[in-house]
Amino acid sequence: MKTEPRIYLALVHYPILNNAGDVVTTSVTNLDVHDIARIAKTFECKGFFVVTPVHAQRQMVHRLRKHWDTKGQLLDHPRKAALKLVEPVESLEAAANRVYDQEHAYPTLVATSAKPQRNFVSFHDMKALIRDGGPVMLVFGTGWGLAEGALSMCNLVLEPVKGVKGYNHLPVRAAVAIILDRLHS
C-alpha cells in the first residue's frame, strides 16, 4: 500500500530576524493564516501550526478557527475545511510534540530559507524522504527569516526557491505554495 505523505507546516513568528538582523517576534497576520491554510488544504497537509509565544495572538487564531467552524458551517464555505488545519502553538518544540501526539513519531524538521545555507537538501531528495513515510514538518519564517534559534532546531534546510535573475523577496505565502507544488509534482 502506498503511504500517504505526512506533511505539516509551521509558520514561525519567533525567533525571527528583522531587516537589521535583530531577533524579534513578528505579528500573526490574518492573511497568512487564511492563505497558508487554503494552500495546505489544497496539498492535503496534515496540519498547519502558527507558532507564536504571544498568548493573545494564539487566542486570535483560535477565534478565527472557531469563526469558520460555525459561520463556515452556515455558509458551506470551502474556507472551513482549510481553517480546520490551523493550530496555534507557543513554540516549534510544541508543534513537534503535537505531531508526535498525532503520529506517534517526531517529525523531521525541515527549515526553508531564501538565504544560501550551509548544506541543503534538494527537492528531489526531499520527495524521497516524504515517500519514505515519516512525518515531515516544513518550517517557514516570517519577517526577514528564521533566526538561528529556529534554524538550529531543524534537521535539514530545504533548497531555496530562487528568482530567475536573483530577485529574492517572495512572500512567504507564495513560497509555501511553490514548495508544496514542487513536492507533489
Cβ atoms of residues 65 and 83 within 8 Å: yes
Does residue 74 bind its own copies (CB under 8 A)?
Answer: no
- Quick one: cell of 139? 518550517
Query: Stretches 53-61, 66-74, 130-138, 173-181: which one binds its own copies (CB under 8 A)?
Result: 173-181
Residue closer to its own copies by CB (options 32, 154) is: 32
Contact flag: residue 173 with its own copies (CB under 8 A): yes
Count residues near its own copies (CB under 8 A).
32
* 46 near its own copies (CB under 8 A): no
DSSP 121: B
Residues in the chain: 185
Q: Does 127 bind its own copies (CB under 8 A)?
A: no
Q: Does 82 bind its own copies (CB under 8 A)?
A: yes
DSSP-derived 3-state class of residue 147: coil
Question: 44 or 148: whose CB is closer to its own copies?
Answer: 44
The one-letter amino acid at 25: T
Nearer Cβ to its own copies (81/128): 81
CB of residue 165 vs its own copies: minimum separation in angstroms? 6
State the residue for C-alpha cell 514548495. 179
- Between 92 and 172, name the residue whose CB sits nearer to its own copies: 172
Query: Which residues are paired to 141 by β-bridges?
Result: 12
Check binding of 133 to its own copies (CB under 8 A): no
Query: 185: Cβ–Cβ under 8 A, 6 or more apart, which residues?
Result: none
Whole-number Cα distances in Å, 30 to 68, 72, 138, 149, 175:
13, 16, 20, 25, 17
112 close to 158: Cβ distance less than 8 angstroms: yes
Q: For residue 62, what is the DSSP state?
A: H
Residue 126 interacts with its own copies (CB under 8 A): yes or no? no
Does the protein bind its own copies through residue 39 (CB under 8 A)? yes
Task: Catalog residues that contact its own copies under the rule CB under 8 A.
Answer: 31, 34-35, 38-39, 41-44, 78-79, 81-82, 161, 163-165, 167-171, 173-178, 181-182, 184-185
